[in-house]
Structure 1
């Protein structure tokens, strides 16, 4: 359902409300970091096909909301950083060009080609009824973040100046103003008037000296956003270190979030269990020592001139020795069992749901909305813990949970994939695929199923009707690079498999004798890799090829026809 002008998501205390569907807004969905900017393997503006592919996938399972990634920031060494030339690098926020038309005093420009990628993403989301959470800037340097923004203002300043130096804060406010007042080149709407935006997030995983973001900065930036844009919600972009009451009670901040990963831990109600684990480990070690001494030494150490403290133990009768050994084994076994139980309860991944529930309760106590803005890099059981908690909503204000991350089809065939920093986890791909190729995780199918079910459960609780699934759009064969030994095509959102057909001769019409050469082809292939090899094609013979996509609903129309020589 396309979003109409003025249909902004609103907050009433702990609840979000969607005026388009006339239902409370609760969601289980994904982060889509490449919706507006491709970063892996190349930094590119996505094609509209690639953006719509992601959004169709989210719409199919009823996700309702996605979270993009940040505006990238030019870094020293990017393009013509130092001389302000007119050929900017592929970053959103760039050093002011010599021919800039930006207001006087502004040290940066917005890179127009990349901003048009964001224009397309917002317009496509509006057409498909998907809401977007948009964080302005990153704490980290992956795409350029706070540190790089500070360097645009004054290279001599440290990263912490992002929150404390008035010159940097003023430039960040100018950035916010430029983005909110941008006129979308696709739909003609100012960003501040675009209903596809759910919330502006002050940043991604913001922190200050490995602690809380300064309260004054958060309040100042939230007030600045609201002074320009009263239509959209504002979400705090800090993480890990909680919030003070002043921030939680700020009338300009509507939503709060946290991110949950194996490397993230903070004090929780279960933290005392760590002490129990340490104590039991000590008891277990003592049990092992007792067992070794009793079972391995039948006489005292000869190199000592006087009896050891264990001499009486060694000289015990066989019966007492057996009793002591049994007691040692009981101590060891009990310690191991206790450690296993406490470790299971204290396992950070299993705590995803517990951690989020505690955060949500804190936010709800201040009558605000909470979401799990990112979570992942964990087994399916941990993912289910979070999604179950979000669905059950132990605190009324727990509005949604967003998995990291969903990647879509590529213009070069196959899917974009992303490895998560050596953690052994990869991005997910809809509608879920077996792990038969590099970049497709073993939990691809199971995680997609978990998110789909959570979205359905939330829809049932709120009265939202998930749009009926449809057959896939037709795939498109990439004629410019295809051969009989590498037939490449741009895949179809929601397609589970494809049928590839061949006919003799060039440009075969629909009435030709088309025959399937592959009936259940999976495109779970890394982008720009070899796709389908026609091993039965004869050298020097011309063939025509076409492809159609399949899912649980049915079969798509056929793709374009291409003629290839074997």
Structure 2
């Protein structure tokens, strides 16, 4: 169901329809433009849906996504060149926004990035002006006007799939001036926040800094939310920053944190207990691949829920993040989702099936007598991992074989079997 009502601010707290609103969820930075599958490309609809469905299963109510707004300088980005907007890229953003709203998820969307990644950043704007110093992004009058026109285009964009202008869509929780704009002058923050508010009276405006609270921004009237990132997750820093932000009458969120290091449990517990913490968002969630296994990413904080069979600690941390999201939003932790039936795509040398949301393990069975069995196990509750597709070590050459697969949740609940898939006799190439 589409989101109902805009998230609002009352002092240092968030509210939705007059009720307190606290949240937890993932960063899914690639929803508008991906870098992880055969180079830079728009993510497939399957991967977008899979990630959002996984976020829901993890208890999320909010997702933060850089490339729904921070997308400049690449041929596939929203703004490949100054003041030239890519309609197809915008339609991909339209799709992600619609899908998030249909699931009741809220979005935090940055407009630019501090860093020079594949989706561009403040250095992209400086480079267009022939300037080497990325800090010109904050001072050059022409750059500021180009950035304002970019913001205006997004705020007034009418989603081709919903008919709603972004500034009128409650799916968006907040516009973030940029990701980790560590050295943004207070005057620039005030100017840009005021500009957003002049065009969009519905949404909150956020600003963040990497590793520490951006204290000289606490007094900016037009700013609603202060965002801090923690690597590693630090419970004491979280509590200190949240208290200082609340004392200034602003909303505090942790927009990113590393979930792999020691101290995670204390960090999550402190966030849940501290009413000054409005939200936490871990870095970062990745989906199943279009064919089999997961989309890989190697930054040390990539999460494939509910684990990849690497270790029991990995799965435990995934489930801790899930429980945390439910508790942050004041809900009882629900039972794990019973996974859907996978779909087997092929089974020649290897059994190829697309992963399903919530599956920690898969059982693969085979029959050489037909689609009605009898069935014998090839893999019994094998952990989901990057090693997919899986080779059947018991396959006899020249034998017609049927396969079926079912997924198993972390708590052991097994989903339905897939439709049996008939494979042609297999003869290896010598």
Q: Aligned to 1:47, which of 44, 48, 56?
A: 44
Q: Which residue of 2 aligns with 1:401?
A: 280
Maintained 8 Å contact 1:235/1:256: yes
1-structure distance, mates of 2:116, 2:6: 32
Deviations 1:26-54 (Å, cap 9, x if unpaired)?
12322122333321242222222212222
Maintained 8 Å contact 2:406/2:414: no
2-structure distance, mates of 1:555, 1:451: 23
Q: Aligned to 1:501, which of 355, 365, 368?
A: 365
Q: Does 1:26 align with 2:22?
A: yes
Maintained 8 Å contact 1:370/1:398: yes
- How big is the shift at 1:23? 4.2
Q: Which residue of 2 aligns with 1:58?
A: 55
Maintained 8 Å contact 1:133/1:198: yes
Deviations 1:482-509 (Å, cap 9, x if unpaired)?
443222211001112222233347xx65
Q: Aligned to 2:304, which of 421, 429, 432?
A: 429
Q: Which residue of 2 aligns with 1:355?
A: 237
- How big is the shift at 1:559? 4.7
**Structure 1: which 4+ aligned runs deviate by more than 6 Å?**
none
Maintained 8 Å contact 2:279/2:328: no
- How big is the shift at 1:409? 0.6
| TM-score, normalising length: structure 1 | 0.69
Q: Which residue of 2 aligns with 1:449?
A: 319
Q: Aligned to 2:5, which of 4, 7, 16?
A: 7
Structure 1 vs Structure 2 CA RMSD: 2.4
Q: Aligned to 1:520, which of 381, 388, 401?
A: 381
Structure 2 segments unaligned to the other structure (5+ residues): none
Maintained 8 Å contact 1:546/1:562: no
Q: Which residue of 1 aligns with 2:103?
A: 128
- How big is the shift at 1:455? 2.2
1-structure distance, mates of 2:344, 2:160: 29
Deviations 1:52-97 (Å, cap 9, x if unpaired)?
222222212322111112423226xxxxxxxxxxxxx3333202xx
- How big is the shift at 1:255? 0.7
1-structure distance, mates of 2:341, 2:161: 24
Structure showing the higher strand proportion among its residues: 2
Q: Which residue of 2 aligns with 1:293?
A: none
Aligned length: 420
Q: Which has the larger radius of gyration?
A: 1
Structure 1 segments unaligned to the other structure (5+ residues): 76-88, 96-106, 263-348, 437-441
- How big is the shift at 1:515? 4.2
2-structure distance, mates of 1:192, 1:466: 33
Q: Does 1:472 align with 2:354?
A: no
Q: Which residue of 2 aligns with 1:383?
A: 264
- How big is the shift at 1:427? 0.8
Q: Does 1:564 align with 2:428?
A: no
Q: Does 1:221 align with 2:192?
A: yes
| TM-score, normalising length: structure 2 | 0.90
Q: Aligned pair in 2 of structure 1 residues 370, 561: CA closer, same or farther (>3 Å)?
A: same
- How big is the shift at 1:391? 0.8
Q: Does 1:259 align with 2:229?
A: yes
2-structure distance, mates of 1:565, 1:188: 51
- How big is the shift at 1:177? 0.9
Maintained 8 Å contact 1:548/1:559: no
- How big is the shift at 1:469? 4.6
- How big is the shift at 1:244? 4.5
Matches within 5 A, 1:282-293: none
